[in-house]
Structure 1
Amino acid sequence: MSLSNWGRWGADDQLGALNFINPEKIIQASRMINKGKVYSLAMPIHTHKTPYDKALRVAPFHVLTRDGGDYAAGAKRVGDVQFADGYVFLNTHGSTHMDALSHVWYDDQIYNGFSDNSIKSKGAKYCGIEKVKGIVTRAVLLDIPLFKGVEYLEAGEVITPEDLDQCAASQGVTINSGDMLFIRTGWLKMLEENSEKFEKYEPGIGEACIKWIAEKEIIGIAADNLAVEVKPEEREGAVIPVHMKALRDLGVYFMELFNFEELAKDKVYECMFVAAPLAITGAVGSPINPLAII
């Protein structure tokens, strides 16, 4: 099997693995709903408290530019109407988010062979996040710590294809073409215990999973850590190799800083997944509020 999807859906394709989602897949996802319950998988965006990567990004900042204090100080009312207004400044990858296919690359080419010269300070000409209008599909949660009988995986612990297959079997679920994969590592627990360790290290999938990802034809992977893949990397000198091969070569979307704790508590291992990025032209990623519906 080729570990590249370049050209699979045409030379102009900018959607990547989202092409695995067809109308039948969306209908299948809708059949996951039997309780009418909705879970938000997003982490709250708190100024100076959101678990972002401080080595690369500044903290989110939220401020109201009109609030109740303005009226107490004598701000003019329009009739009987008062209002509040505000701004949010945050990195596109600084909270629960999804990566665009223009986010990472090597050899001067992004997904499907588009040149990295097409990515300018004002945005990406190709494979920007606005190309993703929304995602509706079936999702499968693999609760790796539960499968291994631990509270959370350790820093640098590599999740293998065997782990994924055996965990799925133990939960009685199968992973099919067009599915979204949720991987719970339990690493959010470390955020409470040692935030510096949470940011510097993490358990995650290793390079052996790249072939597994290609064979399963999944559309994306979400995890409860900063990078989905293991940190530090398995090979000296390698830099986010799973991103490079899965996102750049296969067009598989990476989504990070998900909160699976409520899903895991309720033992929800398959669900309908709904998410949409902000339609920011040329953005290389976007905050999202992902929903799991059962």
Structure 2
Amino acid sequence: MNLSNWGRWGKEDEIGALNFISPEKIVEAARLIQKGKVYSLTMPIHMNQTPYDGSMRMPPFHVLTRDGGDYAAGAKKPGGFQFSDGYVFLNTHGATHMDALSHVWYDQQLYNGYSEDSVKSKGAKHCGIEKVKGITTRAVLLDLPTFKGVEHLEGGEVITPEMLDECAASQGIKVKPGDMVFIRTGWLKMLDKDPQLFEHSEPGIGEACVQWIYEKEIIGIATDNLAVEVKPEERKDAVLPVHMKALRDLGVYFMELFNFEELAKDQVYECMFVAAPLSITGAVGSPINPLAIV
């Protein structure tokens, strides 16, 4: 079965599954706020600790162009005014981030049939991250390590639709249309234990989950690993097949390197989810600071 959302929201649509979020869905999410507690699900952006794929991405670099040392060396203080300033050089898919629908494709077409020729060195004409003005919806956390009674899933372990459904049932929650799905694998703990293993292997969803994603009508999946999907891939001839089918065919958003440890500790299995990418014209992804509010 060829699963696709192309044309579902019109031939000019560029936001995909975000169309599942209605005003009523946002109100539903807001009603989940009972304690007024906010969880940040991001990882700090640190030059020497932020994970990245060294084969194709550079680590982040942060530098101050004006600091206290400048004044100690004699920099002028007009009217007594002193300040600091700086720059951050960061890959759009470095640290906690979300993918734009222009991030991956196949057969020379992006989501909804836009041509790959529209993605140039200065940015993507269609489906760039600036098309995502912000996300507010209900999110559910599927805490797989707790469900399975382990510290973390293993590298290369395939997460199946059955596993997701059974985990949700055990937590007493139901995945609904328009939801954001958080999948905790516990793999983030491997970042300190074995950084090489963390970057080159991971538990993640398998190709069978594409049907699950389509039927649930969710807007996206966020995980505590580098790629959402399992690595190494299930098929030797496939490279990130779940990315291609989810983003390109369904218009569903993938978000990586989330920190779910506090949510899991407090057993927060549903919450209001708020996130917004940087509005970088034509960017194919963006760092975000995702918030869970209960």
Range of TM-score over shorter length: over 0.9
Secondary structure of 2:79's counterpart equals coil
Amino acid at match of 1:211: Q
* Match in the other structure for 1:66: 66
Residue 23 of structure 1 and its aligned partner are, at CA, apart by: 0.3
* Match in the other structure for 1:128: 128
Deviations 1:75-105 (A, max 9, x none): 1112121100000001000110000000000
Amino acid at match of 2:142: L
1:48-197 matches, within 5 Å, as 48-197=48-197
Amino acid at match of 2:208: A
Distance in 2 between the 1:2 and 1:153 partners?
Answer: 30
* Match in the other structure for 1:256: 256
TM-score normalised by structure 1 residue count? 0.99
Query: Which sections of structure 1, spanning at least 5 residues, go unmatched?
Result: none
Deviations 1:107-143 (A, max 9, x none): 0000000000000000000000000000000000000
1:208-287 matches, within 5 Å, as 208-287=208-287
Distance in 2 between the 1:146 and 1:126 partners?
Answer: 40
Q: After TM superposition, what 4+ stretches of structure 1 lie above 3 angstroms from structure 2?
A: none
Query: Which sections of structure 2, spanning at least 5 residues, go unmatched?
Result: none
Amino acid at match of 2:145: P
Amino acid at match of 2:42: A
Amino acid at match of 1:203: P
Amino acid at match of 1:240: L
Deviations 1:225-277 (A, max 9, x none): 00000000001110100000011100000000000001000000000000000
Residue 54 of structure 1 and its aligned partner are, at CA, apart by: 1.5
Distance in 2 between the 1:237 and 1:190 partners?
Answer: 27
Residue 48 of structure 1 and its aligned partner are, at CA, apart by: 2.3
Residue 49 of structure 1 and its aligned partner are, at CA, apart by: 1.4
Secondary structure of 1:58's counterpart equals coil
Amino acid at match of 2:32: M
1:11-50 matches, within 5 Å, as 11-50=11-50
RMSD over aligned CA atoms reads: 0.7
Secondary structure of 2:80's counterpart equals coil
Amino acid at match of 1:244: M
Amino acid at match of 2:283: A
Amino acid at match of 2:188: L
Deviations 1:4-43 (A, max 9, x none): 0000000000000000001000000001100000000000
Residue 2 of structure 1 and its aligned partner are, at CA, apart by: 5.5
Identical aligned residues as a percent: 78
Secondary structure of 1:79's counterpart equals helix
